[in-house]
Amino acid sequence: MHPLVVLAKTAIAEFVKHKKKLPQPEGLPEDMKRQAGVFVSLKKAGQLRGCIGTFLPATENIHEEIVRNAVAAATEDPRFGPVGAEELDAITYSVDVLSFPEKVGGPGDLDPKKYGIIVSKGCQRGLLLPDLEGVDTVEDQLRITKMKAGINPYDNDIEIHRFTVTRYK
């Protein structure tokens, strides 16, 4: 497992078992000192069990972003109940570190295997990570993301941003 994934797993175990936030160590590696949006995804038996993230950084560094979002994915995803201690060994973890989103001119600038997207209209906003199973076309990507945002799937009066991820498993 990549060290970022080990961090997410350890943060979840510490919180689920002891209700404590994993502290930031002294001498944080350079690659963990920068800021970035981060998503933490949990799967159990191949099915989504939790996914929470930030498309822009909300904390001082990647370490804190992973700890915060890992615990939230395990305990605050509204689609699922909190992860129990008995589940920890059955869960697989992934961590996506996002690039800064860039505005695009339209669907021609998208590729669902390469780019995640953020669609927005007014205060409605939805995000979809790239390279997801079952999301094979730009049309699928836009439709799903609009639905997540509560935007009519046929509404094309939207703003689109794209981003890349580095996915760690």
Residues 51 and 77: beta-carbon distance below 8 Å = yes
- Residue 113 token pair: 């295997």
The C-alpha torsion from 119 through 147 and 76 to 48, rounded to 10°, is -110
Cα 168 from Cα 107, distance rounded (Å): 27
Helix, strand, coil content of the chain in percent (nearest 5):
35, 25, 40
What global pTM score does this model have?
0.93
DSSP conformation class of 79: T
Handedness of CA 162, 76, 32, 166 (dihedral sign): negative
Tell me the residue ranges of DSSP E strands in 20-131.
Answer: 38-44, 47-53, 91-98, 102-103, 116-121, 124-128
- Other beta carbons within 10 angstroms of residue 147's beta carbon come to 14
What's the pLDDT score for residue 36?
A: 97
Q: What is the full per-residue pLDDT of the chain (169 aa) written as tens digits?
A: 999 999 999 999 999 999 999 999 999 999 899 999 999 999 999 999 999 999 999 999 999 999 999 999 999 999 999 999 999 999 999 999 999 999 999 999 999 999 999 999 999 999 999 999 999 999 999 999 999 999 999 999 999 999 999 999 9
Cα 32 from Cα 26, distance rounded (Å): 12
- Residue 75 token pair: 């305990």
- Other beta carbons within 10 angstroms of residue 31's beta carbon come to 12
Q: Which of 35, 151, 48, 9 has the alpha carbon at shortest distance from 160?
A: 151
Write down all domains in the chain, each with its CATH number in brackets: 3-98 (3.30.700.20), 102-168 (3.30.1490.150)
Bridge-partner residues for 50, per DSSP? 42
Cα 98 from Cα 150, distance rounded (Å): 23
Residues 8 and 68: beta-carbon distance below 8 Å = no
